[in-house]
Structures are given as structure tokens and as C-alpha cells.
Structure 1
Amino acid sequence: MSSNLYSIGLSGLQSSNARINTTGQNTSNVDTEGYSRQRTDTTSSPVGGVVLRDTSRLVDNFVSSQVRSDTSTFSYYDTYHSMISTSDSLLAEDSISLNTYINNSFDALQTVNNDPTSSSLRQLAHSSLSNLVQQYHTLSGVVSDQEGLVDAQLASSLGDLNTITTKISNLNEQILRQEGLSISPANELRDQQELLAKDLSKYLDIKAQFNDNGLMTIQLANGQPLVMDQFPTELKVSPNPLHPKKIDLVVSFGDYEVGLKTQGLGGSVGGLIDYRSEFSVYADRTLGQHAIALADAMNTQNKKGLDADGQFGKDLFSLGDINVYSTADNLNKAKEISVRVSAGQSAKITKDTYELNRTDDNLFSIKKINAEGKSTDKAITFDPSLLQKDNNGYFKIDELGLDIRLDGIDKIDKDDVFQFTPTEGAAAKLGLVSKNGEAIALSAPIGVSTGSDNLSDARVSLTSVTNTDPETSAFSSDGSLYPSAPHKIYFTSPSSYVVQNSSGVELAKVENVIEFSNLLEKAGLSNEAGFDVSVSSMPKRGDEFSVGTDNIGQSDNFNGLALADLQNQSLIDGKATLVKSFSGFISYVGSKTAEIEGHADSSEIVMNESIARRDRLSAVSLDEEAVNLLKYQQSYSASAQVVTAARTTFETLLGIMR
């Protein structure tokens, strides 16, 4: 009996000692990050006493998984918000607002219209346009600087991320070795591994699982493996020849690499990539579309007037080359393709990427792809051999507002893919090519006059100038009207008139006129003439009105007023003015920032609640450990008394035997 009592007491001592050690371990690690409270379990022995089982960590894998998921979500929105809030504060700053510079430029144009002969006012208008161009560069620089910051942070994050996955893999090896040599679990190593997994979730949305050997494996939310037992992978940025500005990731397994979907990555890496692909690309293309619309509209209108030297106006602005990209094996072919915005067609230019490919021996197709990689419209199919080329070899795709030149058309094979984005980087490439204010074409290229012998009070006025191209209008290359062009309108009655050329030959006859605006349009001549005229009231029989280049006044501002009125035209996508479009962009940035900020705040609350839930189970409570320590001390003392009693009983029995 005493022998049994002795073993019972001894097992109690061992049990209490083990639990005191566990309590001491918990207490000493109360401030250790990632430490999980431990508990030593026991069971009663069928022969008496207590049997020690193992010392386990008090963790709930579901709760730990939720902490990682919520940490990833918060890190995603926090990173995204830190980037977009910086962009918001910079772009919305009044001192660099594009609208301020747009208004200043058009105000200067209005001022010079008051005195087109003033060189100083012309130079002031030119300086305002120069400042506007610089502001496009400044705003484009804000976007590109943020892109550079994203690239730097992403490179740093991937370095840290790959270090963490390597450490998790190494810990798997240590855990396997330690637990193979002992019956006790490697609790401290597993705590370190859990903490590393939580740190990893700050970068990516991950799933941590355990294989049959109890070793941690890490997968992305989409199932892509990052840690397989003792074999880590490496996450790297991969260049994309079709989309040089796009961030592509690959997972390297050492001998080979696998492309990674960048959608829904979560964590700070996902936040950086989504900021770059969603906001940064959108901002760059929005500014580019804005710059293209301004340059195209101003250039087109300036060519419809005469500059200070009496010459047809030329381009005020320049647009940079549109880059054409292709796959790595087709880069040389991409150099054979040139693209530009068709003159006067910028309203058709969207922020989409355009994909060009050859469909068969003769046909090519172009389709538009949005930022999400989805086609936005039906593909445009064309045969280049059937399209008329200009002197530079460009042919026009009217539906898209683009001119294309295919120099090496025979080198392009079927199913070769080429992509270009007209708005990409366009704001940074915008330039002012006019040397001074004298290049601003304020005057109309044609004048009108009312016959001195007219019987009515009707006065003629120039209504519009739509085309001054010598090949397609009534204007010759030296600025004069072709003899065959409309030169005179003669009213044969108050409601009928004829249009005559310079020799008096009748070009058209119009009868039953009740409204006297756009007389050449009514005669069917406005398109080929490139201009139109109106009279103020009903003429009388015999009234005549002349048009010609000899009737232009030095102070004429007809085209200058048209230039200034571009501020009120829907130039952007044919739907919004320059000011309204930029205001809409700033409003979008503000609302997007507020949206992301709201998600960041709410996700932080959810994350903290998950952490608190985990701590309630796994964190060390000094009050609880103090109670346990007292209990196990008392148990130890009681077990020692049992051992003492067993020894006394045994000694008594020995004494009796003697």
C-alpha cells in the first residue's frame, strides 16, 4: 500500500512541478509578441496517481486564420489610402489646379481679342499657354512620382515577404527535427511560425494550413502556393512587353516561374498594385485625354485663321509619339507601326487601350480594352489596301479618330498582337511649338462686304470657317480663294439668290428662302467652300454680297473669338468642357479617397476585434497565472506530504519487521 501511495505522491509532485514550470513559462512571456499561452494536460492513472500528457498551446486555428484575414484587409486599405490621400491632397491643391491655368489662358485670349494688333497682349496669351503646358507636366509628374514610390515600396515589400516565407520554411525544418527527437511539441517554434504568418498577411491575403506532418504550408487566397513544407517560393516582378506600365508578378519555384493573377491579392502588396492599376493609370490617362483634347481643338481652330503675319495659322501645341507595344518576339514589328490622333477628332479618343492585330491576309482589326482588360466596343475591321493614304503614308480610321501607318505590313503575321494607349503619358509629352504670340491666328482668313448699291439694310457677316485645307476647301495655299470658289451672292428676289464664282459664273441657285443664315449651306456649297455667310435681314432684288481675302481688317478677331470659345465646348469625349472634366476628375479622386478611408477605418476596427478575440484565448493573463501558481504550489506541497506519509508508513512497517 505504501509503495502505491509513494508512487501516487511522486506522480503528483511531477505533475505539479510540470504545471509550475508551464505557469512560469507563461508568466515570463507575458510581453512576448506572438506567444501563445501554454497548458500542461494530465490524466488519472488506472493504477493510481496522475499521468502527464503534453504541454500544448492554447490556440484556435479558426481565430488565428481570421486575424490573418482581417490584418490583410486592413493593410490593403491602409496602404491604398496612404497613397491615394497623398495624390488627393496634391491634385486638389488650389495652387496647382489645372482649372486655374485653363481659365487664365482663355482669359488672356479674350483680352488679346480686344486688340489683335497688340504684340504685348499676344505675348501675354502665349505665356499663359506656356504656363498651362507646364502645369500639365507638373500634374503628370505628381502621378509619375507616386508610381515611382509604389515601385520602390513594392520592391521593398517583396524583399521582406520573401524573407518571411524563407523563415517559415526553415522553421518547418526545425519543427520536424525537434518533434522527431522528442515527444513534446515545439511550441515556441510554432509560435514564431504563427507570428511570421501574421506578418506575412500584412503583405498578402494568405491561407495557412498544416499538412499530415503538422508542418505549415502557405497559399495565396487564389490557391497559389508560397510555402510548401520546407520549400519556399519567391515572388518577383516580371516585365510585361505589352503593358510596360503594368505590374505583373510571378512565383518562382527555382527551375521555373508561374504567372500570378494580381487581382485580389490583398495586403499592402495588393493595395500598391491596385492603386497603380486602378487609380494611377486612370489619373495618367485622364490627364492625357485632357491634354489631347486641348491640343487638338486649339490646333484645329488655329489653322482656320490668319496669324499676325497674315499667314494661315499652324499648330500651337505638339503631342508626343504614341508608343506601340507587342510581345517580346514582335518588338521589331511594333516599330513599323505609327499611330496619331486624327486632326479634329480628339473627342473620339477614349482612355482605353487599343489592340491591333491581323486577322487574315488582307484584314486587320482594332478593339478597345478598358483598364480591367475587357473589350468595350465591337472590333473595327479594315483592309489597309482599300484606304486612302496621305502624303506621309497614314490612313484614317474614322470610327476611332486615329491615323495609322503600317510601314512593314508584309512583316506582320496573322494573330500578331500590338497594343497602344493614346492617352498614356500624353500630358507629360504635351508641348507648345509656337514660338511667340504672333503665331496665334486671331483673324478670319476671309472677309465679306455688302454691296454699296444695295437697296436693303441687310448686312452680310461671316458665319463660320470650317476648313482651310487647299486640297479640300476654297482656299488656295497662298491664302487666296480659288477663282472657282464662291465669291458673290446675288439676290434675284427677296427670297431667291444665286452663288457666283469670281468670273460671275453661277455655281448654285436657291429659291423660296425664308431665313437668311448659312446661305452657302442652303446652296449645298458650304462643305467644299470651307466657310459660310449669313445676312442680317431680308434683302431686296439686286442686292449683292461679296466674299474675298481683300476684305480682311487688321483688327479682325473672328478666329480669336472662336479660339476663346473652345473653353465652352464639350471637348472631352464629346461630353464635357475642359474645366468641367478636370473638376469631375478631382471630385472622383476626393470621393475615392473618402471611400478608401472609410474602408480603412472599419477594417481596423474589425482587425482589432479579431486580435482581442485571439488574446482572450491565447494571451497570458497575469491574474490567472497567479491563481494557477498558487494552486500548483499547494498541490506540490500536498503531494510532498503524501510522499512523506508514504515514507513514514514504509519506515514503520520496516520497524515492525525488525
Structure 2
Amino acid sequence: MGSSLYSIGLSGLQSSNARINTTGQNTANVDTEGYSRQRTDTTSSPVGGVVIRDTARLVDKFVSAQVRTDTSTFSYYDAYQSMISTSDNLLAEDSISLNTYLNKSFDALQAANNDPTSVSLRQLAHTSLENLVRQYHVLSGVVSDQESLVDEQISSSLEDLNAITTKISNLNTQILKHEGLSISPANELRDQQELLAKDLSKYIDINAQFNDKGLMTIQLANGQPLVMDQYPTKIIAKTNPLEPKKTDLMVNFGDYEVGLKTQNLGGSIGGLIDYRSEFSVYADRTLGQHAIALADAMNTQNKKGVDANGEFGKDLFSLGEIKVYSALDSIHKAKNISVKVADGQSAKVTKDTYELTRTDDNRFSIKKINMDGKSAEKPIIFDPNLLAKDSDGYFNINEFGLDLRLADLSEIESDDVFRFTPTESAASNLSLFAKNGELIALSAPLSVSTSSDNLSDARISLISVANTNPDSSAFSTEGSLYPSAPHQIYFTSPNSYVVRDASGVDIATVSNVTQYTKLLEQAGLSDDAGFDVAVSSKPQRGDVFSIGTDNLGVSNNFNGLALADLQNRSLVDGKATLIKSFSGFIAYVGSKTAEIEGHADASKIVMDESVARRDRLSAVSLDEEAVNLLRYQQSYSASAQVVTAARTTFETLLGIMR
């Protein structure tokens, strides 16, 4: 009995000592980040006494997984918010608002219209347009600077991420070695792994699991591996050759690479990538579409008038080159493809990317791809050999509002893919082509006159100029009207008239007239002529009205008024005015920012609750450890008394035997 009592007391001492050591370890690591409270478990021995089983970490793998998930979600919105709130503050700043500069530009055009002969007013209008262009560059710079910052942060984050996966892999090796040589678990090493896994979840959404050896493996949320036992992979960023503004992520396995899907990536890296794809790219293309609409409308309208030098107006703005991209093995062929926005068709140009491929020997296909990477519409199939080309070799794709030129068809093969985005960087590439205010075409390209011998009080007026192109209108290259064009309208009665050319030959007859507007349209000549006229009231028989280019006045502001009226036209996407479109963009930025901020606040609350739940189980409580220490000390003392009693009993038995 004494020997048994001695064993019981000794096992009690060992058990209490082990628990005191565990309590001391817990207390010492109360402020150690990532440390999980440990507990030494025991069981009673069938032969008496207590047996120490093991010292385990008090963790719940489901709670730990939830902490990682919630941390990833918060980090996603926090990174997104950091970028978009900065963009919101900059773009919404009144001092750099595009609408302020648009209003100043159109106000300056109106002032020039008040006195088209004033060189100073024309130059003021030109300066206002220069400032407007500069402001497009400023806003585009805000977006591009943010993009550069995002790229830097992604690069830095990937370095940190890859360093963490390497550390987790190294810890797997250490754990395997430690637990292979010892019966005690590598609790502290596993704590370090858990902490690293949590840190990893700040960058990207992960699943942490344990294999049959008890080693941690890391997979992305989509199942792609990051840490396989003792072998880490790396995530690297690469430029997409078809869309250089898009960042592609690749999982590097050493000998080969696999593309990583960036949808629902989570973490700060996912937030930065989504900021680029959902906002940054959108902002750049929105500003680009705005700039294209302005430039195309102003250029088209300026060509319909006459400048201060008495010449047809030319382009006021210049749009930069639309870059064509392809895969690395066919990038040299992209030089054969040229793209530009078709004159007067900017309303058809969307923010989508366009993909050009060859379908067979003669035909090509072009389709839209939206910012989500999905085909937006059915492709347009065309044979470039059957399409009319201009003097520069461009043919028109009317459905998309684009002009294309394919220089060497023989080089382009069926498996080649080419992409271009007309609105990409269009705002930063916008420039003012007109060198001075005298090139702003304020005057009408022709004049109309009422004969002094007319019997009525009706007066003729020019109501529209739609086209001054010598190839498709009544205007010659020199600016005069072709002899065969309408030169005179003669009323044969108050309700009928004839249209005559320069030689007085009738080229159209109109009868049963009830409206005295759009006279050339009623005669079926307005499309070919490129202009139209009206008379103010009912004419009399014999009234004559003349049309020509001989008496163009420098004080005429007919086309200048049309230029200024572009402020009120739905130019952007054919749906919104320039000012309304930009205001809508700023409203979108503010709304998106508020949405992301709301998600960031909510996700932080959820994350904090998950961390608190984990701490309730795994964190060290000094009060609890103090109670445990006192209890285990008392248990130790009691076990020592048992050992003492066993020794006394044993000595008594020996004495009796003597």
C-alpha cells in the first residue's frame, strides 16, 4: 500500500508540476501576438494515480477560419476604400471640376459670337479651350497616378504574401522535425503558423487546412494551392499583352505558371485589383469617352463654318492614337491595323474593348468586350475588300462609329487576336489642334439674299449646314458652290417654287407648299446640298431668293452659335450633355465611395466580433491563470504530503519488520 501511495503522490506531483509549467507559459505569453492558451490534460490511471496526456492549444479551427475570412473581407474593403476615397476627394474638388472649364469655354465662345471680328475675343475662346484640354489632362493624371500607386501596392503586397507562404512552408518542416523527435506537440510553432495564416488572409482570401501529417496547407478560395506541405508556390503579377492596363496574376510552381482568376480574390490585393477593374479603368474610359465626344462634335461643327481667314474650318482638337494590342507572338502584326473614331459618329463609341479577328480568307470579325471581360453584343462580320475606302485607306464600321485600315491582310492569320479600346487614355491624349482663335470657324460657309424686287415681305435665311465635304456636298474644294448646286429659289406662285442652279436651269420643282421652312428638303436636295434654307413668310409669285458664297461677312456668327449650342446637345453616348455626363460620373464616384465605406465599416465590426470570439477561447486571461496557479500550487503541496505520508508509512513498516 505504501508503494502504491507513493506512486500516486509522485504522479500527482508530476501532474501539478506540468500544469504549473503550462500556467507559467500562458502567463509569460499574455502579450504575445498569436499565442493560443495551452492546457495540460490528464487522465486517471487504472493502477492508481494520474497520467499526463498532452499539452494542447485551446483553439477552434472553425473560429480561426472565420477570423481569416472576416479579416480578408475587411482588408478587401479597407484597401478599396483607401484608393477610391482619395479619388473621390480629388475628382469632386470644385477647383478641378471639368464642368467649370466647360462652362468657361462655352461662355468664351458666346462672347466671340457677340463680335466675331474681335481678335482678342477669339483668342480668349482659344485660351479657354486650351485650359479645358489641360483640365482633361489633370483629371486623367489623377486616375493614372492612382493606377500607378495601385501597381506599386500590388507589387509590394505580393512580395509580402510570397514571404509569408515561404515562412509557413518552413514552419511545416520545423514542425515535422520537432514532432518526429519529441512526444510533445510543437504548439508554439503552430501558433506562429496560425498567425502567419491570418496575416496572409489580409492580402488574399485563403483556406487553411491540415494534411494527414498535421501540416498546414494553404489554398486560395478557388482551390488553387499556395502551400503544399513543405513546398510553397509564388504569385506574380504580369501585364496582359492584349490589355496592358489589366493586371494578370499567375501562380508560379517553379517549372510552369498557371493563370489566377482575379474574381472574388478577397484581401487587400483583391481590393486593389477590383479598384482598378471596377473603378480606375471605368474612370479612365469615362473621361476618354467624354473627351472623344467633345472633340468629335467640335471638330465636325467647326468644319461646317468659315474661319477668320475665309477658309473652311478644320479640326479644333486632335485625338491621340488608338493603340492596337495583340499577343506577344503576333504583336508585330498590330502595326498593320489603324483605328480612329469616325467623323461625327462619337455617340456610337462605347467604353468597351473591341476585339478583331480573321474568320476566313476574306472576312473579319469585330466584337465588343465589356469591362467584365464578356462579349457585349453579336460580332460584326465584314469583308474589307468590299467596303468603300477613303483616300487614306480607311473604311467605316458604321455600327461602332469607327474607321479601320488594314494595311497588309496577308500577314493576319485566323488565330491572331487584336484588341483596342478607343476611350482608353483618350482624355490624356487630347490636344488642341487649332493654333489660334482665328481658326475657330464662326461664320456660315455661304450667304443667302432676298431680291429687292420681291413683292412680299418674306426674307430668306440659312437654317442649317450639315455637310461641307466636297465629295458629298454642294461645296467645292475652294469653298464656293458647285455650278450644279442650288443657287436660286424662284416662286412660281405663293404655293410653288423651283430650285435653279448657277446657270438658271431648274433642278427641282415643288408644288402645294404649306410650310416655308426646309425648302431644299422639300425639293429633295438637302442631302446632296449639305445645307437648307427657309423663308420667313408666304412669298408672292415672282419672288426670288439667292444662295451663294460671294458675300460672306466676317461678322457672321451662324456657325459660332452652332458651336456654342453643342453645350446643350446630347453628345456623350448619344444620351447626355457634356456637363450632365460629367456630373453623373462624379455622382457615381461619390455613390461608389459611400458604398465601399459602408461595407468597410460593417466588415470591421464583423471582423472584430470574430477576433473577440477567438480570444474568448484562445486568449490568455491573467485572472484565470492566477486562479489556476494557486490551485495547482495547492495540488502540488497536497501531492507532496501524499508522498511524505507514503514515506512515513513505508518507514513504519520497515520498523515493524525489524
Normalising by the residue count of structure 1, what TM-score does the alignment of the two structures yield? 1.00
Work out the CA distance in 2 between the residues paired with 1:371 and 1:515. 49
**SS at 1:631 equivalent:** helix
Structure-to-structure mapping, 1:373-452, within 5 angstroms: 373-452=373-452
| Pairing of 1:560-571 with structure 2 (within 5 A) | 560-571=560-571
The answer for the alignment partner of 1:252 in structure 2 is 252
Quick one: distance in 1 between partners of 2:494 and 2:433? 49
CA distance in 1, matches of 2:378, 2:211: 49
Paired residues, what number? 658
Residue-by-residue CA offset, 1:288-338 (whole Å, 9 max, x unaligned): 000001000000000000000100001110000100011111111111100
Q: Distance in 2 between matches of 1:599 and 1:593?
A: 10
Greater mean deviation of Cα atoms: 166-175 or 328-337: 328-337
Find the aligned partners of 2:496 and 2:378 in 1 and give their Cα distance: 47
- The aligned residue for residue 66 of structure 2 is 66
CA deviations 1:62-95 (Å, max 9, x no partner) are 0000000000000000000000000000000000
* Matching of residues 611-622 of structure 1 within 5 Å: 611-622=611-622
Matched, 1:210 2:217: no
- Mapping of residues 35-434 of structure 1, within 5 Å: 35-434=35-434
Distance 1:75 1:10 in 2: 52
Q: CA deviation at 1:180?
A: 0.4
Distance in 2 separating the partners of 1:323 and 1:405: 13
Residue-by-residue CA offset, 1:354-406 (whole Å, 9 max, x unaligned): 00111011111110010001111111111101001111011111111111000
Q: Indicate conservation of the 8 Å contact 1:449/1:551, yes or no.
A: no
8 Å contact kept, 1:519–1:532 = yes
Structure 1, 584-593 or 405-414: larger mean CA deviation: 405-414
Amino acid at match of 1:178: H
State the partner residue of 1:519.
519
CA distance in 2, matches of 1:653, 1:382: 112
SS at match of 1:461: strand
The aligned amino acid for 1:657 is: M
| Post-superposition offset of 1:442 | 0.3
Whole-angstrom distance in 1 between the partners of 2:414 and 2:170: 50
- In the TM superposition, 1:590-609 aligns within 5 A as 590-609=590-609
The alpha-carbon deviation at position 551 of structure 1 amounts to 3.0
Partners of 2:256 and 2:199 in 1: CA distance: 27
Unaligned runs of 5+ in 2: none
- Map Cα deviations across residues 412-461 of structure 1 (whole Å, 9 max, x no partner): 11132110000000000000011100000000000000111111111100
Which string of whole-angstrom CA distances, capped at 9 and with x for unpartnered residues, describes residues 89-148 of structure 1?
000000000000000000000000000000000000000000000000000000000000
1:31-59 Cα offsets, whole Å, 9 max, x none, are 00000000000000000000000000000
Letter in 2 for 1:429: N
Q: In structure 2, how many angstroms separate the alpha carbons of the residues matched to 1:554 and 1:189?
A: 87
**1:649 maps to amino acid:** T
Residue 587 (structure 2) pairs with residue 587 (structure 1): yes
Q: Secondary structure at the match of 1:236?
A: strand
**What's the CA shift for 1:575?**
0.3
Q: Distance in 1 between matches of 2:373 and 2:494?
A: 62
Paired residue for 2:469? Answer: 469
Provide the rounded CA distance (Å) in 2 between the counterparts of 1:176 and 1:553. Answer: 94
What is aligned with 1:26? 26
**What letter is aligned with 2:553?**
G
Residue 239 of structure 1 and its aligned partner are, at CA, apart by 2.2
Q: Distance in 1 between matches of 2:185 and 2:256?
A: 35
* 3-state DSSP of counterpart to 1:338: strand
Aligned residue number for residue 7 of structure 2: 7
- Percent sequence identity over aligned pairs: 79
The 2-side partners of 1:377 and 1:300 are apart by 28
How many angstroms apart in 1 are the aligned matches of 2:247 and 2:152?
Answer: 12
Deviations 1:245-301 (A, max 9, x none): 100000111111111001111000000100011100000000000000100000000
Which one-letter code corresponds to 1:448 in the other structure? V
Q: Give the SS at the match of 1:243.
A: coil
Displacement, 1:553?
1.9
Give 1:117's aligned amino acid: T
Which consecutive residues of structure 1, in runs of 5 or more, have no partner in the other structure? Answer: none
Cα shift at 1:200: 0.2
For the residues of structure 1 that align with 2:481 and 2:44, how far apart are their CA atoms? 114
C-alpha separation between the residues in 1 aligned to 2:397 and 2:67?
55
For residue 554 of structure 1, report the CA deviation from its aligned partner: 2.1
SS of aligned partner of 1:551: coil
- What secondary structure, in the 3-state scheme, does the structure 2 residue paired with 1:305 have? coil
Deviation string 1:476-532 (CA, Å, 9 cap, x unpaired) is: 111111111000000011110000001110010000010010100000000111110
Residue 6 of structure 1 deviates from its aligned partner by: 0.2
Which residue of structure 2 lines up, in the alignment, with residue 643 of structure 1?
Answer: 643
Q: Distance in 2 between matches of 1:457 and 1:375?
A: 60
Q: What CA deviation, in whole Å up to 9, does each residue of 1:189-225 have, x standing for no partner?
A: 0000000000000000000000000000000000010
Contact preservation (8 Å) 1:8, 1:49:
yes
* 1-structure distance, mates of 2:386, 2:574: 29
CA deviation map 1:463-484 (0-9, x unaligned): 1001111111111111111111
**Structure-1 separation of matches of 2:365 and 2:208:** 46
The secondary structure found in structure 1 opposite 2:422 is coil
Taking only aligned residues, the RMSD between alpha carbons, in angstroms, comes to 0.5
Does the 8 Å contact 1:108/1:125 carry over to 2? yes
The AA in structure 2 aligned to 1:451 is S
Contact 1:464-1:533 at 8 Å conserved across structures: yes
1:277 and 1:70 mapped to 2: Cα distance? 23
Instruction: Report what 2:458 is aligned to.
Output: 458
One-letter code of the match for 2:494?
P
CA contact (8 A) 1:241 1:325 kept: yes
Alpha-carbon distance, 1:552 to partner: 2.0
Partners of 2:621 and 2:388 in 1: how far apart? 83
SS in 1 for 2:366: strand
Q: Measure, in 2, the Cα distance between the counterparts of 1:375 and 1:262.
A: 18
| Residue equivalent to 2:550 | 550
> Corresponding residue for 1:633?
633
Aligned residue runs from structure 1 range 520-535, under 5 A: 520-535=520-535
The range that moved more, 164-173 or 414-423, is 414-423
Deviations 1:537-592 (A, max 9, x none): 11111111000012322210000000000000000000000000000000000000
Distance, in Å, in 2 between the alignment partners of 1:19 and 1:589 is 59
Q: What is the rounded CA distance, in whole Å, between the counterparts of 1:191 and 1:362 in structure 2?
A: 65
Trace 1:468-487 onto structure 2 (pairs within 5 A): 468-487=468-487
Higher deviation after alignment, 207-216 or 326-335: 326-335
